[in-house]
Amino acid sequence: MTDLLRPHVLGASPARVEGAAKVTGTALYAGDQRVTDPAYLHLVQAEVARGRVTSVDAEAALALDGVLAVLTPDNAPRLASTDDAELAVLQSHDVDFRGQVVAAVVARTPEIARQAGALVDVRIDEAPHDVHLGADRDDLYAPEEVNAGAETDTSQGDVDAAMAEAPFTVDHTYTTAWYNNNPMEPHTTTALWSDGDLVLHDSTQGVHPTRDTAAEVLGLDPERVRVVSPHVGGGFGSKGTAHVNVIITALAAKAVPGTPVKLALTRQQMFSLVGYRTPTIQRVRLGCDEGGWLRAVAVDVVEQTSRIKEYAEQTAVPSRMMYAAPHRSTTHRLAALDVPVPSWMRAPGECPGMFALESAVDELAIACGVDPVEFRVRNEPEVEPESGKPFSSRNLVACLREGARRFGWDDRDPAPRSRRESDWLVGTGVASSTYPVNKMPGSAATVRRTVDGRFRVEIGAADIGTGTWTSLAQVAADALGVEFADVELRIGDTDLPKATVAGGSSGITSWGSTVVAAAREFRAKFGDDPDEGDELTATMPEDDASDEYAKHAFGAQFAEVRVHVDTGEVRVSRLLGVFAVGRVVNPRLARSQLVGGMTMGLSMALHERSVLDERFGHVVNHDFAEYHIAANADVPRVEALWIDEHDPHVNPMGTKGIGEIGIVGTAAAIANAAHHATGVRVRDLPLTLDHFL
Ligand code: MOS
């Protein structure tokens, strides 16, 4: 392979180029930006789930030394657009969910701002609220479409008839919890106005999308807004769209002319202001014949959205393409509640959806007496089931086989409770993973020959911890035919050519395709020996042919779980993921993404759950003391591998995206292993010990 001849280009593992800056503390995040004499913002939040602000008394707060301004619904500058109700901060007196921003204090220090925030007296006329999600609600509705533009409902054949005829069926309801995105770096914004121009240092997954949103809401020409974001301490989707922190910081800076304003949300504030994964209730019906061939797949999903802004998680979507079956139907229904606005969280749709589907597949495989790995292999479709399109590449079977071999699956006694080691029941389980190959149109990149004989490559891409600074430079070097060290990449700034969001695992696919196009055009125009200053800008090519194929990444996840016979304590002792994700640009960074996703899936399986107190509409465990995230001691041996996959149809690099697939299926593999260990089937996450007692 050509990779091997060029050890510092595609397929090699250079360390993160910004790694030293990060670990020595010199990498500047949004809140660290050195601005002259900044002020600090603190948000005051509604303590009821629904109502109307009747008065805001800021006198005591304003009397505090160092307080510069208090913004309220009565005095906040007006926004040009209030179409996005989540962003229409302080534009009305309505309270739509507990935690909504009802006032904001600007002060000389963060401490003073916070103290003053506690002194702002907000009176709210409370109204009855409704935050209860249930499949039995009579006001569930079908959204026009679900996230990523997918169809709300689909149907093929006759599921009811097929279920009635099938010798083996499962019909169960599975639930996933409310999960909150918790990147290490909170959502942070620094805003500076000068002569009507706005600069935002923002912790974002996309500088241009954030700029466009801020410009529209604030009523500015996008050219007058600059968003800068060289380093981001994690996002997981919550920084994929601009949230209220961006808008309120810009408004606050307007209220104190000449003073830059900084806001870092507190951890607790992130539980209501930056999106979260909706809880899901999924009824899954599967039927198969004597040999374990699926006849029917039906998934009916109920989930929540907020009353003020719709977000519909596409939870049933993966069940439309995973397995062959002649009869199939999927539906999504929403309850619009007085809750914070849900949004993207790592693998929206696929992550909760594959917990239910892959648990149900395990149940059906057991029911018909077919090994769970073999069952999945048997139901491998030849073409994408609903669309009939050929797969650009589909190596799920290879992942299952290779994973089974490495995991030692064949030695397994399929009987539940068949393995005990001292006081622990030990079981193993498997689940499939999948994630679509997303490519977003609209990026551009510039290549320039610099004075030192290197190549500067510019694109407003984001590195949210994924390694873009390194891997995109590898793509550029490969496309230019130069060494990695000869590329100087610039990203994370709207002054650079426009780039799409780091979302939907589309980053390297979209930005890489753009950079490759620019590099190729640069070489075509300037040849092998360009002059200093030669420069070319190109946009991402539209490739019509790619729509002929169904493009997805796949994987197989294997888990070993131990459940204590007396206490019910659940430990995961081993995870193995084998993935088919196309070309891997940088194995070191890819492994980090996949292991990170699997670890987040383990955390979802065993620990994470935002607990809503329905009386108050409040997530009560809104901090790291009580919202449990897997810590080092919870995470055992996690191995992530991939098979050699070459897909000529996805993009010029042959990559499929690796940021999200790692979390898909992990929780099901763990729940399936827990069933094998104990004989107890848990259909409601997380797998807390009470389930096993
Ligand atoms: Mo990812 S949840 O699409 O940022």
pLDDT digits (tens, 9 = 90+) for 643-673: 999 999 999 999 999 999 999 999 999 999 9
* Residue 563 within any structural domain of the chain: yes
| Cβ neighbours around 5 below 10 Å, total | 7
Which atom of ligand 1 has the smallest separation from the CA of 502?
4
- The residue range of the domain holding 527 is 2-28+446-541
Answer whether 237 contacts ligand 1 (Cβ < 6 A): yes
Do 70 and 118 fall within a single domain? yes
* Residue 136 within any structural domain of the chain: no
Q: Please determine, for residue 509, whether its predicted confidence score (pLDDT) is greater than 90.
A: yes
Do 73 and 10 fall within a single domain? no
Domain boundary among 255, 273, 291: 273
For residue 504, the CA-to-ligand 1 centroid distance in Å is: 5
Q: Please determine, for residue 547, whether its predicted confidence score (pLDDT) is greater than 90.
A: no
* Residue 224 within any structural domain of the chain: yes
Domain boundary among 248, 273, 298: 273
pLDDT, tens digit (0-9, with 9 covering 90-100), for 418-474:
999 999 999 999 999 999 999 999 999 999 999 999 999 999 999 999 999 999 999
pLDDT at residue 488, as a whole number: 97
pLDDT at residue 132, as a whole number: 98
Distance between CA atoms of residues 2 and 387, nearest Å: 35
Query: Could you tell me which of 641, 596, 75, 645 has the C-alpha nearest to residue 395?
Result: 645
Give residue for tokens 């499962």. 170
Query: What is the chain's mean pLDDT, rounded?
Result: 97
- Asked if 221 and 483 count as a contact pair (C-beta separation under 8 A), the reply is no
Distance between CA atoms of residues 433 and 578, nearest Å: 9
Q: Please determine, for residue 4, whether its predicted confidence score (pLDDT) is greater than 50.
A: no
Which atom of ligand 1 has the smallest separation from the CA of 348?
2
Probe residue for ligand 1, chosen from 277, 660, 661 as the CB with the greatest number of ligand atoms within 8 Å: 660
Answer whether 504 contacts ligand 1 (Cβ < 6 A): yes
pLDDT at residue 5, as a whole number: 45
Domain boundary among 244, 273, 302: 273
Answer whether 183 contacts ligand 1 (Cβ < 6 A): no
- Give how far Cα 644 sits from Cα of 3, 578, 655, 656, Å: 13, 11, 11, 12
For residue 205, the CA-to-ligand 1 centroid distance in Å is: 9
Answer whether 240 contacts ligand 1 (Cβ < 6 A): yes
Which atom of ligand 1 has the smallest separation from the CA of 240?
4
Query: Could you tell me which of 482, 487, 417 has the C-alpha nearest to residue 448?
Result: 487
Q: Can you state the angle between helices 468-480 and 507-526, rounded to 10 degrees? A: 30
pLDDT at residue 3, as a whole number: 42
Answer whether 179 contacts ligand 1 (Cβ < 6 A): no
Probe residue for ligand 1, chosen from 241, 274, 344, 506 as the CB with the greatest number of ligand atoms within 8 Å: 344
pLDDT, tens digit (0-9, with 9 covering 90-100), for 195-243:
999 999 999 999 999 999 999 999 999 999 999 999 999 999 999 999 9
Do 207 and 268 fall within a single domain? yes
For residue 209, the CA-to-ligand 1 centroid distance in Å is: 14
Query: Could you tell me which of 652, 443, 446, 447 has the C-alpha nearest to residue 543?
Result: 652
Nearest 5°: the CA angle 231, 235, 238 is 135
pLDDT at residue 636, as a whole number: 87
Interface predicted TM-score (ipTM) of this complex, two decimals: 0.97
pLDDT at residue 544, as a whole number: 58
pLDDT, tens digit (0-9, with 9 covering 90-100), for 271-305:
999 999 999 999 999 999 999 999 999 999 999 99
Answer whether 444 contacts ligand 1 (Cβ < 6 A): no
Which atom of ligand 1 has the smallest separation from the CA of 346?
2
For residue 165, the CA-to-ligand 1 centroid distance in Å is: 40
- Residue having the nearest C-alpha atom to atom 4 of ligand 1: 237
Q: Please determine, for residue 322, whether its predicted confidence score (pLDDT) is greater than 80.
A: yes
* Residue 674 within any structural domain of the chain: yes
pLDDT-derived band at 475 (thresholds 50, 70, 90) equals: very high
For residue 346, the CA-to-ligand 1 centroid distance in Å is: 5
Give the catalytic positions in this structure: 660
Answer whether 600 contacts ligand 1 (Cβ < 6 A): no
Answer whether 579 contacts ligand 1 (Cβ < 6 A): no
Q: Please determine, for residue 370, whether its predicted confidence score (pLDDT) is greater than 50.
A: yes
- Give how far Cα 16 sits from Cα of 26, 316, 472, 488, 510, Å: 14, 36, 11, 13, 20
pLDDT at residue 542, as a whole number: 83
For residue 513, the CA-to-ligand 1 centroid distance in Å is: 19
Report pTM.
0.97
pLDDT at residue 8, as a whole number: 61
Do 513 and 574 fall within a single domain? no
pLDDT at residue 608, as a whole number: 98
pLDDT, tens digit (0-9, with 9 covering 90-100), for 680-692:
999 999 999 999 9
For residue 437, the CA-to-ligand 1 centroid distance in Å is: 13
* Residue 134 within any structural domain of the chain: no
For residue 459, the CA-to-ligand 1 centroid distance in Å is: 20
pLDDT, tens digit (0-9, with 9 covering 90-100), for 162-197:
999 999 999 999 999 999 999 999 999 999 999 999
Probe residue for ligand 1, chosen from 311, 346, 463, 464 as the CB with the greatest number of ligand atoms within 8 Å: 346
* Residue 222 within any structural domain of the chain: yes
DSSP 217: H
* Residue 139 within any structural domain of the chain: no
| Number of independent structural domains in the chain | 3
Q: Please determine, for residue 50, whether its predicted confidence score (pLDDT) is greater than 60.
A: yes
Do 679 and 582 fall within a single domain? yes
CATH number of the domain that residue 209 is part of? 3.30.365.10
Answer whether 507 contacts ligand 1 (Cβ < 6 A): no
Do 398 and 336 fall within a single domain? yes
pLDDT-derived band at 584 (thresholds 50, 70, 90) equals: very high
* Residue 626 within any structural domain of the chain: yes
Coil, helix or strand at residue 378 = helix
Distance between CA atoms of residues 334 and 526, nearest Å: 55
